[in-house]
Every structure is written in structure tokens, then in C-alpha cells.
Structure 1
């Protein structure tokens, strides 16, 4: 539904929103590396100390890749927007807010895995899942807003695009909830597997759900002939 605003002063092009967002993403990625520290070990044990910090390296790589995927999705979305308004700015702020939280649960998971305490690992995985679900929920609000505001979009953008994007966000919310429950109730490593798979899904579909390679192939497949 188009709901153009009467207050033209609230409208602007997207250049400031994207520039600000890119700066935030750059800061978030920089903060992730701060959790990698020189190991506190006696002389002669530097190699073993570095190797023992492997959970920190894995957590860094996973969260770095996730922020990169968020940036790709953010760029893809704004490439379809011709104007920003106050509402779009606020839903964009919500995406940036939840993305900026990622360094914290990343550090929590890294520390818990290095301490080898099963209960702490369960809590850490559930906490990361909570932040991931909140991030996907912020994307859901973002996509829902644009799905209802065709007047902000470029004319060539398909009417199906942002309604379909809401499905992607809902998949993320659901799978993060599942990952948190599995990680807390069953096995932390099982939840971590879902954390690795989800950024891959969002990377593959960063151009849009119905524009993903598999979806395009299905759409181009000719209908089966009748018997």
C-alpha cells in the first residue's frame, strides 16, 4: 500500500543513511577483533597458548562473516530505495542497533568455549541466539516497512521483492530460536552449527529471496505437460 507523507521535509535521498550505516558497520567489524588477545602464558608456551584460543578465532571469523553478510543485504535493500523518510530511518537504526550488539555475544561465546564449562557454554549459545533473533526481527521490521511504502522505492522494484524478504527474516527468527533451544537443552555445538549455516543462507539470498539462484531456476522451469 502506498502511503505518501505530506511532510516533504521528512524526505531525503538515501546517501546520508547509507554513509552513516557503512560507518557503523566498519566500527562493528573493528570491534570484533578486540576480543583477540595475546595469550597470558609462561615463556616457551606461546604456541600452545595461541592454539588454545581457537574458539576466539572461530567466533571472530563467524561474526565477521555475519556482519559482512548484513552489509551485503543492507546494500541490496537500499539499492532499491529512492528516498528515505523518518520511519525508514528508525527501522534502519534498529538494524544497526542489533548488528552493533554482535561483538558482545561473540566474546561471551568465545570465553565460554575456552573455559570448557558446559553450563556456561549452554548459556552463551542461548544468548548469542537471542541476539541473532533480535537482529532478524529488526530486519523483519525493515522489510515490512518497505513492503508497505512503495512510494519510497524505485519504480523498477518488483512488488514481490520486500514482501518476500519478510519470509527471509522470519526464517532467521525461527532458526535462531531453534538454535538457542538446541544449544541450551541438547548440545551447545549443535546450536553453533545453525549459527554457521544462517549467514550462508543470507549470503546466498542477499539479492532477494525470489532472486536466489535456486528460486530463479524453479521460476524458469517450464510447466509439466499434461498427460
Structure 2
């Protein structure tokens, strides 16, 4: 089964999720100058940026991953659907994170929602790694230029990001704001610790390869 339809469907989900992030930003009501009211909801802006980075960088890596996948089967499609289910939930939790951090910087509902947000990030990380691991262990599913050792080495590197998400979620019990910032930094880690692009594989193979 060709993976292009799965990738196209995934792109649609990522696009909708990242668009909904902006739609969740509301002009605050109340009295007083608009500039002051806009500044008051800075936690919502921070949550928006962190979630935008998380979804956007995951989409970049997801796009690269599916460029390497030559065919898909039912189990891989299920794993991909699980990933997309969690991606689609990011805008909802992002809005609540912004609202609760605007009310309380620590404790109470702010802690609850930040831990929930962390669990969502962990779930997305697990699903993405599961797709990569499964594709790498199914004969003929990945691009032949990807050596088994390349796949094996990448799993622990992505695991570092998973551990960072777990630790950051625990930090959310103490400081939800610090946890949100760290989630953004972890997303940036995934921007640099990415899968090899096709052009990188071509460069490694050299002009005489094939």
C-alpha cells in the first residue's frame, strides 16, 4: 500500500491543528485600553508559540519520515492515526493552558492542565517513535538507502526528547510556567535532532553509488 495518501491525510490534520491554534487566541474583553488587555494574556501567546513549534517541527519530521517510507500496512496506519489523534488535541489544551496560566502561575488548575499538556507531548513522542521503529523493522518498508544501523542509532536520540518531556511534565507540578518554556525548548531539540533527508542520503551514497 502506497504511503502518499496517508501522508496527504496527515498533512491535512497538521494544517488544521496548527490553524486552530491561532483561532483560539481571543481578544480579551473588559474595560481599559486594548493594549493593556492584550498584554494581560501573554501566557496565551507563549502557549501558542510553544504549541506551534511542537506541531510544526513534528510535521517537518513526519514529512521526512514518510519520504523514506515506501509502503504502509494497516498497523502503521493505526500508529499514524494515534499520532494524529493527539496532534488534533493540542489546540484544545493550548487554549486551556493559556487561560489557566493567565489566572495562576502555579498550583491548582494551572498545574493540572500543564501536566495534561505534558502527557499529550509524551503521547505524541511515543507514537512518532513507534512509527519510526516499526517502519525500520519491517522489511522493504523503508528506503533501501537507510541502513539498519541508521535507524537503530536514531531511536535513542529521539528517546532523549522523550525523557525531556517526562522530566518537564514533572517540573509542571512545581512551576507550570517553567515547564511550558521547557516544552518549547524540547520541541527545538527535535528540530535539530531530525531524521536524515533524502538529499543527505544521496550525499552519503556519493555520485558513484547505485
TM-score scaled by length of structure 1: 0.80
- Say if 1:196 and 1:137 are closer, same or farther in 2 by CA, change over 3 A: same
Q: Distance in 1 between matches of 2:30 and 2:73?
A: 53
Check the 8 A contact 1:21/1:96 in 2, yes or no. yes
Q: Distance in 1 between matches of 2:46 and 2:180?
A: 11
Instruction: Indicate the residue corresponding to 1:158 in structure 2.
Output: 147
Match of residue 39, structure 1, among 28, 46, 63: 28
Q: Distance in 1 between matches of 2:86 and 2:157?
A: 17
Cα drift, residue 207 of structure 1: 2.7
Q: Which runs of at least 4 in structure 1 moved beyond 6 Å after TM superposition?
A: none
Instruction: Find the residue that maps to 1:200 and give its secondary structure.
Output: helix
Cα drift, residue 117 of structure 1: 5.4
- Say if 1:164 and 1:96 are closer, same or farther in 2 by CA, change over 3 A: farther
Residues 25-64 of structure 1 show CA distances to partners (whole Å, capped at 9, x for unaligned) of: 111111111220011022x521111110111111111111
Instruction: Say whether 1:110 aligns with 2:91.
Output: no
Instruction: Indicate the residue corresponding to 2:135 in structure 1.
Output: 146
TM-score scaled by length of structure 2: 0.86
Match of residue 137, structure 1, among 126, 129, 139: 126
Equivalent residue runs for 1:36-115 within 5 Å: 36-42=25-31, 44-115=32-103
Instruction: Indicate the residue corresponding to 1:176 in structure 2.
Output: 165
* Unmatched tracts of structure 1, length 5 or more: 1-11, 213-227
Cα drift, residue 102 of structure 1: 1.1
Residues 72-121 of structure 1 show CA distances to partners (whole Å, capped at 9, x for unaligned) of: 11011111111111121111112211211211221121011111252222
Instruction: Indicate the residue corresponding to 1:13 in structure 2.
Output: 2
Check the 8 A contact 1:133/1:172 in 2, yes or no. no
Q: Distance in 2 between matches of 1:207 and 1:30?
A: 25
Instruction: Find the residue that maps to 1:151 and give its secondary structure.
Output: coil
Decide which structure has the larger Cα Rg and report it.
Answer: 1
* Unmatched tracts of structure 2, length 5 or more: 201-210
Cα drift, residue 127 of structure 1: 1.4
Instruction: Indicate the residue corresponding to 1:206 in structure 2.
Output: 194
- Structure ranking higher on relative contact order (CA contacts 8 Å, 6+ apart): 2
State the superposition RMSD in angstroms: 1.9
Q: Distance in 1 between matches of 2:37 and 2:165?
A: 32
Q: Distance in 2 between matches of 1:98 and 1:163?
A: 25
